[in-house]
A and B are shown apart, each in its own frame.
Chain A
Amino acid sequence: MRAELLIPAGFIVLVAPARAVTYLSVEQAQQAIFPGAKFTPDFRKLTDAEVARIEKESDTTAYSREVKCWKVDAGGWFIVDEVIGKHEFITYAVGLDAGGAVQGIEIMDYRETHGGEIRQPSWRAQFHGRKHGEALKLEDDIQNISGATLSCKHVTDGVRRLLTFYDLVLKGR
């Protein structure tokens, strides 16, 4: 079979709205990383001193003072966090096992803009407290994009920050 590329008549150039995908709700991300486990919320408010120390030791920026943690019944932690790139805003979850090692990372929500609004709290606020759980629907309107690679550096940095947070705040609890 020869590969075929079908280009619609007229060579349409689509000016698309900014890309936004919801992958998993909190519950779905929990089950994806720790199947069958039970979770107890244990959100943490960081002090100024803790934020400064975490930022210094992990060489990253903390965007929020509150860390959304859940204790896993069989041991370990489930943490939901957000990172902000130049053009993207990503919500993701990290599972840590009982020894603090990364058990899994799942992207929950990905938002891309072509403007500069991503660093404005008001733009990001519209996604907070939003009802998740729509991710299981067939979403044909969400299209695949083929293009040069977007880096996942910000998520990698975020995970490093959370591991530092674990060492300083959660470890041994």
Chain B
Amino acid sequence: MLIRARPLLGTLVEIRAAGGNAASVSRAITAAFDVIAEVHRLMSFHEPDSDVSRLNRLAHREAVQVDAQTWEVLACALELSRGSGGLFDCAIAPRLVRLGYLPRTPGVESGVDASSAHIELLAGHRVRFLKPLAIDLGGIAKGYAVDQAIRRLQNHGIGTACVNAGGDLRVLGDRNWPVLIRLPAAPRRAFLPVTIRQQALATTAHYFTARVENDRVVTPLIDPRTGRCRTENHNVSVAAPSCMLADALTKVVWLSGDAWHPLLARHRARAIVLPGEREGGCAGAA
């Protein structure tokens, strides 16, 4: 088993793979990292030339053509948005900018009243915004990148692999993979061990991203129904056939608090909700 890691998608991406000699496995891992870097290049909010940045700048004025991969992720995001009654919404970027979780970008703050219902997908991989808005695919593209990396590893003849992008992961191969889920009460010390096989597992919580501002806890988990961030300390993990679905569905379950949300069954997914408790007097970790 060869294990490598690179900083991508704003996190550490770890790929472990086996099947063949070390040199060919290493080449396959490099190819899989390249696929992830490509998704990063297309869908990063931070890169000014990404499809996402071009859409945020231009799509409220004219239809913008994007890569087929960006299109695929957007189509899935819009479907999940409709299916969840708007709980999953990739148009919350302006709120994340306001809270300091995304960098300030000219024009982006104007879209706070829009939602992904104002995004229109047109023929020829073109996209149009019906009013000024800004999207961030951070809640779904990481999972998509993991899926694409797994596909590339398979194309290179890899039979056993795990791609883990900052805790959103997918496994491949005829074996059980042990995975530790961080417990929100003590995320660096205590874990729930689970086992997955031929599927993806993603987790959403805010124990590493929450901070205290003017005596108020701030998190990047925005409730699109109110436009405000939510501060409960629970941890949601979703197992699904693809990491894109697992990644996005964690947000639906986290916000709804419903481990049996009907969208899960529709996408053959299951959720674990771990209740949170505050860790001894540390408000920043809450």
Task: Please list the residues of chain A having a beta carbon within 8 angstroms of any beta carbon in chain B.
Answer: 1-8, 11-16, 18, 21, 23-24, 31-32, 87, 92, 105-107, 110, 112-114, 135-140, 142-152, 155-156
Given the interface pairs A15-B189, A87-B188, the reply to whether A149 lies near B167 with Cβ below 8 Å is: yes
B212 to chain A, nearest CB (A): 15
Question: Roughly how many angstroms separate A96 CA and B206 CA in the complex, as a whole number?
Answer: 35
- Per a CB cutoff under 8 Å, which of A4, A32, A114, A145 touches B239? A4
A88 to chain B, nearest CB (A): 9
Question: Roughly how many angstroms separate A145 CA and B181 CA in the complex, as a whole number?
Answer: 6
Digit string of B185-225 for contact with A (CB within 8 Å is 1, else 0)? Answer: 01111111111111101111111110000000000000000
On whether the beta carbons of B191 and A114 are closer than 8 Å, the reply is no
Determine chain A's interface SS by DSSP, over half rule: loop
Query: A139 contacts which chain B residues (CB < 8 A)?
Result: 1, 3
Determine chain B's interface SS by DSSP, over half rule: strand
Interface pairs A-B: 7 shortest CB-CB: A147-B182, A152-B7, A149-B166, A107-B5, A114-B188, A3-B239, A6-B195
Q: Chain B residue with minimal CB distance to A115? A: B188
Question: Roughly how many angstroms separate A114 CA and B181 CA in the complex, as a whole number?
Answer: 16
On whether the beta carbons of B5 and A144 are closer than 8 Å, the reply is no
Query: A12 contacts which chain B residues (CB < 8 A)?
Result: 192-193
On whether the beta carbons of A145 and B179 are closer than 8 Å, the reply is yes
- Per a CB cutoff under 8 Å, which of A6, A21, A143, A150 touches B208? A150
Given the interface pairs A23-B5, A107-B5, the reply to whether A146 lies near B182 with Cβ below 8 Å is: yes
Which stretch of B61-69, B73-81, B85-93, B264-272 is in the interface? B264-272
Q: Chain A residue with minimal CB distance to B187? A: A147
B195 to chain A, nearest CB (A): 4
Query: B203 contacts which chain A residues (CB < 8 A)?
Result: 146-148
Question: Roughly how many angstroms separate A4 CA and B187 CA in the complex, as a whole number?
Answer: 24
On whether the beta carbons of A144 and B10 are closer than 8 Å, the reply is no
Question: Roughly how many angstroms separate A16 CA and B187 CA in the complex, as a whole number?
Answer: 10
Most buried by A among B7, B22, B186, B208: B7
Q: Chain B residue with minimal CB distance to A108? A: B5
Additional A-B contact list (18), CB under 8 Å, known A18-B188, A143-B179, A144-B169: A3-B199, A4-B197, A15-B190, A21-B5, A32-B26, A107-B6, A135-B2, A138-B18, A143-B178, A146-B164, A146-B167, A148-B235, A149-B167, A149-B208, A150-B11, A151-B11, A152-B10, A152-B11
Query: B197 contacts which chain A residues (CB < 8 A)?
Result: 4
On whether the beta carbons of A114 and B189 are closer than 8 Å, the reply is yes
> B136 contacts the other chain (Cβ, under 8 Å)?
no
